[in-house]
Amino acid sequence: MIKRRTFLKTTLGTGLALSAPWVARAQTRELRIQTWEGYTEPEWLKPFEEANDVVCRVNFTTSDDDLFTKALASKGGDFDVFALNTALIPRYVANSLYLPIDPSRLTNFEKLAPAFHDNALTVVDGEVRSLPFAWGSNPLIYDQDYFTEAPDSWGVLWDPALDKQVMMVDDSSSVISVAALYLGYEDPFNLNADQYAEVKRILIEQKQILLTYYAGFADGVSLFAQNGVKAMYSMGEPQVKELQAQGVNAALTIPKEKATGWLDGWMLSPSCRDVDLAYAWFDACLSQATGKIMTEKLGYGNTTDLDANAAAGLDYADKLVWFQLAPDTEYRTQLWNEIKAA
């Protein structure tokens, strides 16, 4: 690389100074990144660009489905690397929209904490499909003024003593998964008919005491704050901070039945134009410095610097069940409609 640059410099000389911009574009390498907002913060993107003399073209994902449609249409030709919820990996695998990653080409692969290093969603049959990068959970949020100590079970959301003071989110996959966890089912994303029947039964039973199913992140916060809610299934850790900002003495906990979590990872596009550069980017993302900055700045759990996680209260990655794509989402939606119509 250096050679080529030296060559260009010496052969073209300063006489071509006027056309320098064109020259620069022609010679500089480019990395096309498709990602959620927050995963390409300047704190690690800029140093990466400088160190590798590269220009990154970042494209933000708006929804999982848009991304999938886009990837399907161009066979991943629009980007070199992309960030994806690990739950969705099977979709991309089924359509060959990924390239396996060779961990030996990465300096920082071994920096991954154990829970992420051998994750069952990312490493299948010894094939590394995704590099875990950021995570969060769906904890139980509760009001510390009401609970003297953290509730240890999702059962509080079924407690008749909390009539009209508990909330769930209006989302079939979340609600069914957490009900399955509460019932003690090992894999909440793969349920049999009996288990579904039981899930349906307890969710209908729960309607008796639920205040409402809240519609979104901010909606949950405002309802909790305005209506004296004592506990709710949370869409994510940042809800705690926002509740505290509204004067609620809120805290989160992971109940003994475990909680669901989301895990995003970096993947390699089958149409990647510069694989070397992609690996360089992966290494940059898996550095402990990057993980620390991300956790401190954005509040997401990182996958490499456990101390930073612990400092931010994110010490429960091992108590989470990472989201997976249920093989029967249509049935789940139908079940959810049945529960709500009941």
Partner 1 sequence: MMNPVSRISLFVLVALVPSVFVLLPTIAFVANSFFAVENGQIVPTFTLSNYAAFLQQPEYWGVFVNTLGLCLQVSIICLVFGLPVAWFIWRLPERNRYPMLFVVILPLFMSYVVKLFAFRSILGLNGFLNQLLVASHLIDKPQMAFLFSRDAIVLTQASMFFPYMVLPIFLNLERIPHSLTQASSDLGASAGMTFREVVLPLTMPGVVAGLVFVFIMSLGDYITPQMVGGMMGHTFGRVVWSQFGVTFNWPLGASFGVVLVLVCAALVGAVGMTSRQQRI
Give me the residues that bind partner 1 (CB under 8 A), please: 65, 91, 164, 170-173, 207, 210-213, 215, 219, 222-223, 226-228, 329-330, 332-334, 336-338, 340-342
Nearer to partner 1, 167 or 284 (CB): 167
Identify the three-state secondary structure at position 100: coil
Q: Look-up: residue for tokens 């990653």?
A: 101
Q: How far is the CB of 229 from partner 1 (least distance, A)?
A: 9
Q: Look-up: residue for tokens 């901070």?
A: 241
Q: How far is the CB of 200 from partner 1 (least distance, A)?
A: 11
Q: How far is the CB of 4 from partner 1 (least distance, A)?
A: 45
Distances (CA, A) of 194 to 58, 130, 197, 200: 46, 34, 5, 10
Nearer to partner 1, 107 or 337 (CB): 337
Nearer to partner 1, 83 or 221 (CB): 221
Q: How far is the CB of 169 from partner 1 (least distance, A)?
A: 11
Q: Which residues pair with 58 in a beta bridge?
A: 33
Nearer to partner 1, 70 or 258 (CB): 70
Torsion sign, CA atoms 227, 229, 234, 238? positive
Beta strands per DSSP E along 61-217: 81-85, 123-124, 127-128, 131-137, 140-143, 166-169, 210-214
85 phi, psi to nearest 5 deg = -65, 130
Q: How far is the CB of 146 from partner 1 (least distance, A)?
A: 14
Q: Are the C-beta atoms of 330 and 318 separated by less than 8 Å?
A: no
Nearer to partner 1, 171 or 296 (CB): 171
Q: Are the C-beta atoms of 71 and 267 separated by less than 8 Å?
A: no
Q: How far is the CB of 228 from partner 1 (least distance, A)?
A: 5
Which tokens hold the place of 192?
A: 């049999």
Q: Are the C-beta atoms of 101 and 268 separated by less than 8 Å?
A: yes
Nearer to partner 1, 24 or 215 (CB): 215
